[in-house]
């Protein structure tokens, strides 16, 4: 998957919530929520279509990828960029100088337990 920039992600958030949506309605939503002009919305639709992330057929726009897929890809990219894929190093850097609540600790433990069970 190609990189999804912040402005594209904000656009996708609207699309995921409303899809499938007619492009004139999407223009209206992007104007209201993002302050975009019509031309900006159509440019982003074209760019994301070129990346294989959205499709526009008969003026109806829909996503070809889920929010979860984009979030996972972006998380992997961040992990590679900042820690060369080393999860413990990434985790240590992220938690440095942070105080975790017991609820956070319990959630992290559940995630680790689920990852272990998945082996």
pLDDT one-digit tens code per residue, 18-43: 999 999 999 999 999 999 999 999 99
Q: Does pLDDT of 87 surpass 80?
A: yes
For the chain, give every domain's residue range. Answer: 6-67
* CATH value of 6-67 in 3.40.50.140, 1.10.10.10, 3.20.20.100, 3.50.50.60: 1.10.10.10
SS3 60: strand
Q: Does pLDDT of 119 surpass 60?
A: no
How do the residues of the chain divide into helix, strand and coil, expressed in percent and rounded to 5? 65, 10, 25
């Amino acid at each position: 998957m190609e990189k999804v920039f912040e402005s594209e992600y904000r656009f996708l958030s609207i699309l995921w919530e409303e899809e499938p949506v007619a492009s004139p309605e999407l223009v209206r939503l992007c104007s209201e929520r993002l302050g975009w002009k019509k031309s900006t919305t159509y440019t982003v639709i074209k760019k994301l279509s070129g990346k294989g992330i959205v499709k526009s057929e008969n003026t109806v726009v829909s996503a070809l990828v889920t929010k979860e897929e984009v979030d996972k890809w972006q998380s992997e990219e961040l992990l590679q960029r900042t820690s060369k894929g080393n999860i413990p190093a990434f985790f240590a850097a992220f938690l440095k100088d942070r105080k975790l609540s017991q609820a956070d600790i319990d959630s992290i433990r559940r995630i680790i337990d689920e990852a272990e069970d998945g082996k």
